[in-house]
C-alpha cells in the first residue's frame, strides 16, 4: 500500500497562522474581559413597588426613578405589585439575581408580616440595604359631612353600636390596621375592618360614604385639601406643617407615634461596588427639587440613611415589630 507523505508546512506560514490564532484568542479574551469589567449598569433596572399604581408612593417613586435613570444612563422601570399589605415585592427579591438590576421599596409592613403570618422570605436575610429615603404621615379621615369630629366620637359610636363602625385601611397587617387595633382593643371596642389594596380606591370609598372612616398615609392629602375629607388626627411625633390645626395621637395621650420609614433594597449578596453606584445615584436623585416637591405634596420630608445605617435601622425595626405584634396579641401561631 502506498504511503502518503505528510505535507510540509512552511515555517513562515506556521508562524503566520500561530500569530493569527493568538490574535483571535486575545481579541476574544479582551472582549470578554471588557464585558465583565463594563461599568454598572449596562441595561435597564427594574424597581418594584408593593403598592398599586396611582397612589402617593407610586407617584413619588416614578419621579425618583426618572432622576436615577438620568444619573445612571439606563432606564429605571417602575413595576407595581400591590396587595398583601405591601409585601409582594419580597418574593421577587428573594428569587432575583444579586446583580443590582432588581430593586424594591421596603415598607414597614415587610418588617411586620413575618411575625403575624408564615412567609417564605425574611426582610433582613433576603435583602441588601441601599438607602433610606423618607417616611409617611399617617392619619384618620372621615367624609367632610361626617358627624365624627374627633377620635373620641369614633370610640363613642363603637361603644354604642358594637361591631358596626366600618374602618378602611390600606391592608391587613399594615401600620394603620395595627394602630387602630391597638386603639380600639385597649378600650374593649371592635370595628369592621375593610382592607384596600391602594390609597386612591380607599379614599374614594371614604369620601363617598361607602365606609365611615379611613386610615392611611399621605395619599389622603389631595382629598383633605379639596374638602372632600376631614382629617381628625395624625400619627407623627409632632403636628404637621401642612395641617397645624390637626392634633397627633401622642398629644391626645395615646402614646403612639408611627411614621413607617421606607427605602430601597436589593436581593441579598449584592456586590459592594454595585451598592455604592446605586446608593450615590439614589442619594442625588432623592435631593432633586422635583422629587422633594412631590414629597411635599403628601407632607413628606427626606429621611436619609446610607447602606450601613439603613441596615442597622432595619434590624432594630424588625425586632421592634416583633415586640409590638406580641403585645397586641397578633403573633402568628406556629
Structure confidence at residue 145 (pLDDT): 96
Residue 229 lies in a domain: yes
Residue 30 lies in a domain: no
Strands 166-169 and 192-195 come out as: parallel
Do 182 and 111 fall within a single domain? Answer: no
Distance, CA of 14 to chain centre? 63
Helix (H, G, I), strand (E, B), or coil: what is residue 80? strand
Alpha-carbon distances of 47 from 79, 101, 158, 197, 250, rounded to whole Å: 6, 8, 41, 19, 35
Residue 332 lies in a domain: no
DSSP 197-229: S-HHHHHHHHHTTSSSEEEESGGGHHHHHTTSE
Do 230 and 147 fall within a single domain? Answer: yes
The pLDDT averaged over each successive group of 10 residues in the chain (334 residues) is 50 55 50 58 98 90 98 98 92 98 96 94 98 94 97 97 95 87 93 89 95 91 94 93 94 91 97 98 98 89 95 95 84 78
- Classify burial at 295, counting beta carbons within 10 Å of its beta carbon; exposed 0-12, middle 13-18, buried 19 or more: buried
Mark residue 227 as left, alpha or beta (left: phi above 0; alpha: psi -120 to 50; beta: remaining).
left
Percentages helix, strand, coil for the chain (3-state, rounded to 5) are: 40, 15, 40
Residue 247 lies in a domain: no
Structure confidence at residue 218 (pLDDT): 78
Do 157 and 100 fall within a single domain? Answer: no
Alpha-carbon distances of 238 from 107, 138, 209, 252, 323, rounded to whole Å: 21, 12, 29, 11, 24
Do 70 and 207 fall within a single domain? Answer: no
Residue 252 lies in a domain: no
- Domain-ending residue, one of 234, 250, 285: 234
Q: Are 138 and 235 a contacting pair, CB within 8 Å?
A: yes
Residue 180 belongs to domain with CATH number: 3.40.190.10
Structure confidence at residue 266 (pLDDT): 98
- Domain-ending residue, one of 179, 200, 234: 234
Do 216 and 272 fall within a single domain? Answer: no
Helical (H) or strand (E) element with 180: helix 175-185
Q: Are 303 and 261 a contacting pair, CB within 8 Å?
A: yes
Residue 267 lies in a domain: yes
Residue 186 lies in a domain: yes
Do 58 and 143 fall within a single domain? Answer: no
Q: Tell me the three cell numbers of residue 95.
A: 428569587
Do 203 and 158 fall within a single domain? Answer: yes
Do 103 and 159 fall within a single domain? Answer: no
Number of domains into which the chain is organized: 2
Do 187 and 216 fall within a single domain? Answer: yes
Strands 302-305 and 127-134 come out as: antiparallel
- Domain-ending residue, one of 234, 251, 271: 234
Do 177 and 225 fall within a single domain? Answer: yes
Helix (H, G, I), strand (E, B), or coil: what is residue 140? strand
Structure confidence at residue 18 (pLDDT): 55
Helix (H, G, I), strand (E, B), or coil: what is residue 2? coil
- Domain span at residue 92 reads 45-135+260-327
Distance CA 81, CA 53 (A): 9
Distance CA 83, CA 78 (A): 16
- Widest distance between CA atoms in the chain: 115
Residue with cell 388626627: 233
Distance CA 201, CA 305 (A): 32
Residue 101 lies in a domain: yes
What number of residues does the chain have?
A: 334
Residue 106 belongs to domain with CATH number: 3.40.190.150
Do 286 and 272 fall within a single domain? Answer: yes
Structure confidence at residue 14 (pLDDT): 57
Residue with cell 422601570: 77
Do 131 and 143 fall within a single domain? Answer: no
Amino acid at each position: 500500500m502506498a504511503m502518503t507523505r505528510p505535507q510540509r508546512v512552511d515555517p513562515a506560514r506556521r508562524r503566520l497562522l500561530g500569530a493569527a490564532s493568538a490574535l483571535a484568542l486575545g481579541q476574544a479574551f479582551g472582549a470578554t474581559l471588557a464585558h465583565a469589567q463594563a461599568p454598572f449598569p449596562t441595561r435597564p433596572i427594574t424597581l418594584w413597588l408593593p403598592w398599586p399604581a396611582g397612589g402617593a408612593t407610586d407617584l413619588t417613586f416614578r419621579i425618583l426613578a426618572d432622576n436615577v435613570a438620568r444619573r445612571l444612563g439606563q432606564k429605571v422601570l417602575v413595576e407595581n405589585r400591590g396587595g398583601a399589605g405591601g409585601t409582594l415585592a419580597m418574593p421577587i427579591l428573594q428569587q432575583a439575581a444579586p446583580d443590582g438590576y432588581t430593586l424594591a421599596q421596603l415598607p414597614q409592613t415587610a418588617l411586620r408580616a413575618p411575625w403575624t403570618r408564615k412567609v417564605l422570605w425574611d426582610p433582613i436575610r433576603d435583602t441588601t440595604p441601599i438607602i433610606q429615603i423618607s417616611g409617611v404621615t399617617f392619619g384618620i379621615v372621615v367624609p367632610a359631612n361626617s358627624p365624627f369630629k374627633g377620635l373620641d366620637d369614633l370610640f363613642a359610636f363603637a361603644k354604642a353600636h358594637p361591631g358596626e363602625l366600618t374602618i378602611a385601611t390600606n391592608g391587613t397587617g399594615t401600620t394603620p390596621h395595627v394602630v387602630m387595633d391597638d386603639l380600639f382593643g385597649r378600650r374593649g371596642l371592635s370595628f369592621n375592618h375593610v382592607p384596600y389594596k391602594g390609597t386612591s380606591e380607599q379614599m374614594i370609598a371614604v369620601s363617598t360614604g361607602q365606609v365611615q372612616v379611613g386610615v392611611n398615609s399621605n395619599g389622603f392629602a389631595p382629598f383633605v385639601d379639596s374638602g372632600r375629607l376631614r382629617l381628625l388626627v395624625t400619627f407623627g411625633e409632632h403636628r404637621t406643617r401642612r395641617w397645624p390645626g390637626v392634633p397627633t395621637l401622642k398629644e391626645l395621650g395615646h402614646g403612639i407615634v408611627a411614621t413607617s420609614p421606607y427605602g430601597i433594597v436589593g436581593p441579598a449578596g449584592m456586590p459592594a461596588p454595585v451598592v455604592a453606584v446605586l446608593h450615590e445615584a439614589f442619594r442625588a436623585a432623592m435631593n432633586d427639587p422635583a422629587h422633594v416637591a412631590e414629597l411635599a405634596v403628601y407632607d413628606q420630608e427626606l429621611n436619609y440613611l446610607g447602606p450601613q445605617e439603613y441596615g442597622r435601622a432595619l434590624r432594630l425595626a424588625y425586632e421592634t415589630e416583633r415586640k409590638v405584634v406580641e403585645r397586641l396579641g397578633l403573633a402568628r401561631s406556629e
